[in-house]
Structure 1
Amino acid sequence: MEEQNNTQDILNQVHESTPDTLHPILDYIIKNGKMIAAGVAAIILIAGGISGFKYMNQQKLIKAQSEMGTILIKYSGAKQADALAAFEKDAPASMKPAVQLALAKAWMDAGHYADAKTVWAAIAKTSPKLSAVSGLGQAKCLMLEDKAGEAVTVLQKLKESVDAVYAASINRLLGEAAEKAGNIQVAIQAYQGLMTSSPQEASFFEFKIKELKAKL
């Protein structure tokens, strides 16, 4: 009787320490009266294997984060971009967005705007939640390439498709791009939007609007 109680105690401990997904297996063993040492050992090994797998993944992520940190510290410009591009191929999926963002910035810092635009476009595909950031990045690259008119087109489309929380950032860049492209009306509209979303700078935008209207 005492031996049965000890066995039940062990069984309860194993049941509590194993993931919920393994409980049906354990319950089956109990139900069929096959609570033997080998059965318990198998369950413990499975549970240990799951924990080990999680530990290995965690260690892999930590190592990858360290490698990326080294790249960002050790290199800059084109060398940093090349290193990040190579690193991205085997980077953990959870790190992809961060690696791509760093890569886009590295290409921009290096003046490789075409490469940066390619990465910004890839970010929008792999991380839809970053589509607004991607669009802003692409527009900035176009402006740096002296393609302000194309930047205006990108920003106007972006403004229609993303959440209003990005309106201020889009209007700020849109106003700059439209002004540079000679599209006065669009620039005025963008600055008017900023007077509402950025009241602390209202006097500056009011000045810009007056300045632009004088050119009409």
Structure 2
Amino acid sequence: MEEQNTTQDILNQVHESTPDSLHPVLDYIIKNGKLIAAGIAAIILIAGGAAGFKYMNQQQLITAQSEMGSILIKYSGEEQVKALADFEKDAPSSMKPAVQLALAKSLMEISRFADAKAAWAAVGKSSPEMAPVAGLGEAKCLILDNKAAEALPILEALKNSAGEEFAATIGRVQAEAAEQAGKFQLAIDAYQGLLASSPQEAPYFKIKINELKAKL
């Protein structure tokens, strides 16, 4: 449930950063699509790659998009990872973030968390506007890989650089990482910070705070 909330927050933040004219497409993906690699790729193409359409041959981009779509539909698991990695080498530059993000998601699905973390880092480098989302992806990979303590510095840096719109999402992931790392006071502080920003979830946060206080 907590992981689903984090994913929804990320989707909402991407929604807010896109032009109003593209919101119906994003709304359809968010409402009707399970967060699969194809959905992620579509979102990032819309949010981060739209400018590239002006600078490259339209037919080339359409062909590349079709090829990527075929990969996502035809393959799964390790085969999908290999196909995406091969495709990325020659993919149009405007599609790089989409391919890297789909690759990160595919790697996470087969529990290759170290490789997924590297893919998230590549997303942040090739698409600076996606750096906060990429940082959250890196942190989540470390948490899932039972390396939560290593996620905490990443999340602390994000708090200082990502902007207020990411504060709630970062707070949730930080609370999760701190609890897993045994940093109970830090987890309490993170949950307390969420009380005001997400009042609809305040009862759950208060329960977590009380549970963590009992462990101090």
Shorter-normalised TM range:
0.7 to 0.9
2:155 corresponds in structure 1 to: 155
**Could you say which structure has the greater relative contact order, defined with CA pairs below 8 angstroms and 6 or more residues apart?**
2
What SS does the corresponding residue of 2:204 show, helix, strand or coil?
Answer: helix
1:1-216 equivalent positions in 2, closer than 5 A: 57-216=57-216
Identity %: 64
Tell me: CA distance 1:61–1:189, structure 2 relative to 1, closer, same or farther (3 Å). same
CA shift for structure 1 position 153: 2.0
What SS does the corresponding residue of 1:117 show, helix, strand or coil?
Answer: helix
Q: Equivalents in 1 of 2:179, 2:95: separation in Å?
A: 37
Amino acid paired to 1:196: A
Instruction: Deviation per CA, 1:6-35: give whole Å up to 9, x if none.
Output: xxxxxxxxxxxxxxxxxxxxxxxxxxxxxx
CA shift for structure 1 position 56: 8.1
Tell me: CA distance 1:55–1:111, structure 2 relative to 1, closer, same or farther (3 Å). closer
Q: Equivalents in 2 of 1:207, 1:55: separation in Å?
A: 52
Q: Equivalents in 2 of 1:153, 1:200: separation in Å?
A: 28
2:15 corresponds in structure 1 to: none
Amino acid paired to 2:186: V
CA shift for structure 1 position 180: 0.9
Aligned length: 163
CA shift for structure 1 position 181: 0.8
Q: Equivalents in 1 of 2:99, 2:194: separation in Å?
A: 32
CA shift for structure 1 position 55: 11
Q: Equivalents in 1 of 2:194, 2:75: separation in Å?
A: 37
Instruction: Deviation per CA, 1:143-163: give whole Å up to 9, x if none.
Output: 111111111222112111211
2:4 corresponds in structure 1 to: none
CA shift for structure 1 position 133: 0.8
Q: 5+ unaligned residues in a row in structure 1: which ranges?
A: 1-53
TM-score after normalising by structure 1 = 0.72
TM-score after normalising by structure 2 = 0.72
Q: Which has the larger radius of gyration?
A: 1
